[in-house]
Amino acid sequence: MTTIQRILDHHGALALPGLFDALSARIAQRAGCPMDFVSGYSVAATALGEPDLGLLTQTEIVAQARRICKSVEIPVLVDADTGYGNALNAYRTVEELIDAGAAGCFLEDQVWPKRCGHMADKRIVERGEYLERIRAAVAARGDRDFFIVARSDAEAVAGLDEAIDRVGAAHALGANACFVEAPGSRDQLAEIGRRTPGPRVANMIEGGKTPLLSREVLGEMGFQLILYPLTGLFGAARAMRDLCARLMADGTSVGVEDQLMDFDSFNELIGVEERLELVRRLQQG
């Protein structure tokens, strides 16, 4: 049993924020998250300042995953998009993520370059090509502790039945979890919960196509891993926008201190004292 599976078994339905860098990963760990989830949309936005339209490369997501994995003690699940090409690319992507310290990844069936699952005009590969990616990921994993989430975007292109069939077939090949992206109604969510093998993923995007439901409701529908991939990103972006506007208008941060983490707390979060203690030990010889 993988580490992530043990966490899901322990927690039942688990709601997680999407992360994008080492700092956000540490914040999530401090908040009590038992595992971290790296959002490809968020990494593209923060690392590149670009939309989730397949611009983020394998090299870039692996490098970011490596930094995040080194910054926390909890398992990290990484959005690996399509595996960045064909089955060979998917194989290498899984190998690289394992080497970076990741505990699992998502693999989807869009045509590369892909786009955010809640955007229009998505395209998917043939089912056989998608299953080749899954076989490659399972082969690359071997007997190592690595959790593979089979994601399908087929609902928007070929209908819900096709999406359900795809993730079911991927699960039969060795994927650990099923993720039908962007269902548009509670009825579709309930059907996914009935007809796909568990554990199941639900993706909650504010303003996206899927209705926002509570962890309790989704848990009753059969979902174990409930993702809020953009909540932290949207919150951080709004805070940064508002504070920048306030500085431009007022020329000072006086009056907004209650909106900020204080200096000492932030230094404690990033481990300043631990690093200074290491310096002191090294200076003592």
- The residue whose two tokens read 């960045």 is 84
225 has pLDDT over 70: yes
Nearest residue to 41 via CA among 194, 222, 237, 172:
237
Domain boundary among 230, 247, 268: 230
* Residue that has been written with the tokens 């339905």 in this structure: 13
User: Whole-angstrom Cα distance, residue 261 to residue 144?
Assistant: 39
Measured between alpha carbons, how far is 123 from 219 in angstroms, rounded to an integer?
30
**175 pLDDT higher than 70:** yes
What is the C-alpha separation between 114 and 121, in angstroms, rounded? 10
Average pLDDT over residues 255-269: 95
* Residues 176 and 198 both lie in one domain: yes
CATH number assigned to the domain comprising residue 92:
3.20.20.60
Instruction: Looking at the structure, tell me whether residues 253 and 160 fall in a common domain.
Output: no
Query: Both 178 and 224 in a single domain?
Result: yes
77-135 pLDDT, tens per residue? 999 999 999 999 999 999 999 999 999 999 999 999 999 999 999 999 999 999 999 99
Q: What total number of domains does the chain contain?
A: 2
Question: In this structure, are 18 and 80 located in the same domain?
Answer: yes
180: domain range? 3-230
CA dist 226 and 13 (Å) reads 7
Judgement on whether residues 248 and 150 belong to the same structural domain of the protein = no
Tell me the per-residue pLDDT of 188-224, one tens digit each, with 9 for 90 and over.
Answer: 999 999 999 999 999 999 999 999 999 999 999 999 9
Dihedral of CA 252/256/260/265: which sign?
Answer: positive
Cα 61 to Cα 58: distance, rounded to the nearest angstrom: 5
Do 114 and 85 fall within a single domain? Answer: yes
Sheet holding 76-79, edge to edge: 177-180, 147-152, 104-107, 76-79, 36-38, 14-19, 225-228, 201-203
- 179 with 201: CB under 8 angstroms? yes
Spatial neighbors of 211 by CB under 8 A, at least 6 apart, are 185, 186, 189
| 158/278 same-domain check | no
Per-residue model confidence (pLDDT) at position 285:
66
Cβ-based neighbours of 203, under 8 Å, separated by 6 or more: 117, 179, 181, 182, 210, 227, 229
- Quick one: 214 and 271 in the same domain? no
Identify the sign of the CA torsion 207, 212, 215, 221.
Answer: negative
pLDDT of residue 1: 86
Q: For residue 66, how many C-alpha atoms fall within 13 Å in the half-sphere facing its CB?
A: 12
Q: Are residues 165 and 244 in the same domain?
A: no
Q: Count the neighbouring beta carbons within 10 Å of the beta carbon of residue 233.
A: 21
Whether residue 162 is found in the same domain as residue 273: no
- What are the structure tokens assigned to 88, written together? 């060979």
Confidence band (pLDDT; 50, 70, 90) for 280? very high
Average pLDDT for residues 36-45, to the nearest whole number?
Answer: 96
Instruction: Say whether both 19 and 151 belong to one domain.
Output: yes
Mean pLDDT within 131-146 = 98
Do 211 and 274 fall into the same domain? no
